[in-house]
Chain A
Amino acid sequence: MASEQKHTGGSLLFSVLQEHGVKHVFGYPGGAIMPIYDALYDSEVEHFLCRHEQGAAFSAVGYARASGKVGVCLATSGPGATNLITGLADALADSIPVVAITGQVPTGAMGSDAFQEIDVFGLSLACTKHSFQVTDINDLARVLHKAFAIALEGRQGPVLVDIPKDIQLAEITTTLEDVSKLRNKVKLPPVDVGHAISLLSHAKKPVLYVGGGVGMANAVDELRTFAKTTNLPSVSTLKGLGAIDPEDENYLGMLGMHGTKAANLAVQECDLLIAVGARFDDRVTGKLDEFAPNAKIIHFDIDTAEINKRRFADAAILGDLKVNLPALAIPLAIDDWLASCQDSKITNAWRYDHPGENIYAPAVLNEISQKMPKNTCVTTDVGQHQMWAAQHMLFNDPTNFLSSGGMGTMGFGLPAAIGAQVSRPTDCVIAVTGDGSFMMNVQELSTIKRFQLPVKILLIDNAKLGMVRQWQDLFFNGRLSETDLSDNPDFIMLATAFDIKAKEITKKSEVSEAVAEMLDHNGPYLLKIKIDAQDNVWPLVPPNTANDKMMESI
Chain B
Amino acid sequence: MNQYQLNIKADDKQVVLERILQVARYRGFLISGITASVNTGTNIGVIELMVRSERSIDLLVDQINKLIDIKEVTVDNSASQECSA
* Chain A residues close to B by CB (< 8 Å): 121-122, 125-126, 129-130, 132-133, 150, 303-305, 307-309
Contact = CB atoms under 8 A, between A and B. Distances in A.
B22 A121 contact: no
A309 B18 CA distance: 23
The 4 closest A-B pairs by CB, nearest first: A305-B62, A130-B68, A125-B22, A305-B63
A304 B65 contact: yes
Q: Which of B22, B58, B65, B66 has the most CB of A within 10 A?
A: B66
Given A308-B58, A309-B59, A125 B18 contact: yes
Contact of A304 (B19, B62, B67): B62
Interface of B is mostly: helix
A121 B18 CA distance: 11
B63 A125 contact: no
Interface residues of B, number: 15
B25 to A, nearest CB: 10
Interface string B1-41: 00000000000001100110010001000000000000000
Interface of B: 14-15, 18-19, 22, 26, 56, 58-59, 62-63, 65-68
A204 to B, nearest CB: 31
A397 to B, nearest CB: 28
A125 B19 contact: yes
A121 B65 contact: no
B62 to A, nearest CB: 4
B22 A126 contact: yes
A156 B40 CA distance: 32
B66 A122 contact: no
Contacts of B68: 129-130, 150
A65 B19 CA distance: 27
Given A133-B14, A308-B58, A309-B59, A126 B26 contact: yes
Nearest to A126: B22
26 contacts: A121-B14, A121-B15, A122-B15, A122-B18, A125-B15, A125-B18, A125-B19, A125-B22, A126-B22, A126-B26, A129-B68, A130-B67, A130-B68, A132-B14, A133-B14, A303-B66, A304-B62, A304-B65, A304-B66, A305-B59, A305-B62, A305-B63, A305-B66, A308-B56, A309-B59, A309-B62
A129 B19 CA distance: 11
A309 B55 CA distance: 10
A304 to B, nearest CB: 5
A129 B68 CA distance: 8
Q: Which of A121, A130, A305, A308 has the most CB of B within 10 A?
A: A305
A553 to B, nearest CB: 39
Nearest to B22: A125
Contacts of A309: 59, 62
B21 to A, nearest CB: 9
Contacts of B59: 305, 309
A185 B75 CA distance: 25
Contacts of B18: 122, 125
